[in-house]
Amino acid sequence: WYKEQDFESKFPPYYIDILVELHFTILAYMEPKHSRLRIMLTKVYTIELILDDTCDRYASLREVESLANAIEMYTLFMWDIDDHAMDGLPDYLKSVVKFVTGTFQEFERELGPEVGGSYSLEVTIEYMRYQIIQ
């Protein structure tokens, strides 16, 4: 999954490959029954790190506001929105938005039937939205 994302080519030089560090963080859940949890936490932490580095180290305030608005548009309409929400974003921010929304769509497909809806996913999305605003 991680190599398929090809982060180095999609994001500016601020992106730092820290997959190993993420795995050490997630080792607290080392039992085989938690394998899916480890995969999902790796993805969530990757999203958080990319958003944090983008907002703190690279993007201008205007770009951060546009990024937050684009992600909010996707989440408000539950992913059923076209690329107009990303008009005016630089290419690297479009990659960030596509990565974030694509990952949450994947979570929705994988967990939706199990959790009986998307409440926990909505809470996670709300948390990510809060992180961007911070």
57 and 14 Cβ atoms separated by less than 8 Å: yes
Q: Is the pLDDT of residue 45 over 60?
A: yes
DSSP class of residue 88? Answer: T
Task: Tell me the average pLDDT across 115-129.
Answer: 63
What's the mean pLDDT in 111-134?
A: 64
CB 131 within 8 A of CB 48: yes
Please state, as a whole number, how many other Cβ atoms lie within 10 Å of the Cβ of residue 126.
Answer: 11
Tell me: the pLDDT tens digits for 28-38? 767 777 778 88
Angle at 88 between CA 81 and CA 100, to 5 degrees: 50
Please determine, for residue 81, whether its predicted confidence score (pLDDT) is greater than 60.
Answer: no
